[in-house]
Amino acid sequence: MIFSQEKRISLLFAMERQSDILTEALRTIAFNKPYGVLPCFTDPDGRSTLADYVTIPGVYAAGRLDLDSEGLLLLTSDGTLAHHITDPQHKLPKVYLAQVERIPSEEALEQLQQGVLLNGKKTRPAGARLLLDDPLLPERSVPIRFRKNVPTAWVEITLREGLNRQVRRMTAAVGHPTLRLVRVAIGPVLLGDIPSGQWRDVTSSAIREIYEAASRQ
């Protein structure tokens, strides 16, 4: 079937408008999860959940962030986007700041970078670098456990998979237990200056970058 130039322009406009309407109907937000909040909306034991902070209908967490971890959590009503965020085959980078016991050596950092054995399975290569200065983060609502005469350090770790409590298990495996863990980026979406317990909408350009990153795998 051959369309006139005018008809083709009309069809393209209609398709773009339909896409815009669909995008507007979906919602994706970036939430700064506080320490001690479960990454779900209900809890039979009455602990604090996302429902205490997010009242947008139809959005759910795309992935997990444990009760004792803080920082960036994406919530979306777009099931396809959630799959792209959470499925390890898409290798979407997730960046964490981990405060660990003692100062890691170059050898320990190389072990994290090359992958460590967790329950007999080696993790994928990861980014790991020692931060020379403490990151600018607010104090945690519950102070970390300090041990007298044991120094702490901050390490930036970038993962492209999502095993259960992976960062904590990896740092413990190389001799540096994690005392505090904050996720600061998921792909192109940054935690930035979102206050703890607050959220903002994720831009359409960031969502497009997530889809484009997935299509390259």
212 vs 201, more confident? 201
How would you class 181 by CB atoms within 10 Å of its CB: exposed for 0-12, middle for 13-18, buried for 19 or more? buried
19 occurs within a structural domain: no
Same domain, 74 and 99: no
Domain encompassing residue 176: 93-186
212 occurs within a structural domain: yes
- Token pair for 123: 């993790």
Q: How far apart are CA 132 and CA 155, in angstroms?
A: 9
198 occurs within a structural domain: yes
79-93 average pLDDT score: 90
Query: What is the pTM (predicted TM-score) of this model?
Result: 0.86
164-189 average pLDDT score: 97
Q: pLDDT by residue (tens digit) across 113-144?
A: 999 999 999 999 999 999 999 999 999 989 88
Residue 89 pLDDT more than 90? no
Residue 56 pLDDT more than 90? yes
DSSP letter at 52 equals G
Whole-number pLDDT of residue 162: 84
How would you class 151 by CB atoms within 10 Å of its CB: exposed for 0-12, middle for 13-18, buried for 19 or more? exposed
Write out the DSSP string of 88-145: GGG---EEEEEEEESPPPHHHHHHHHH--EETTEEPPP-EEEE-SS----PPPSS---
4 occurs within a structural domain: no
Q: State the chain's mean pLDDT as an integer.
A: 89
DSSP letter at 153 equals E
Same domain, 174 and 123: yes
In this structure, the number of other CB atoms found within 10 A of the CB of residue 94 comes to 22
Residue 157 pLDDT more than 60? yes
Selecting among 66, 134, 193, 201, the annotated active-site residue is: 66
Domain count, the chain: 2
Q: Is 133 a catalytic residue?
A: no
3 occurs within a structural domain: no
User: What's the Rg (C-alpha) of the chain?
Assistant: 20
Residue 18 pLDDT more than 80? no
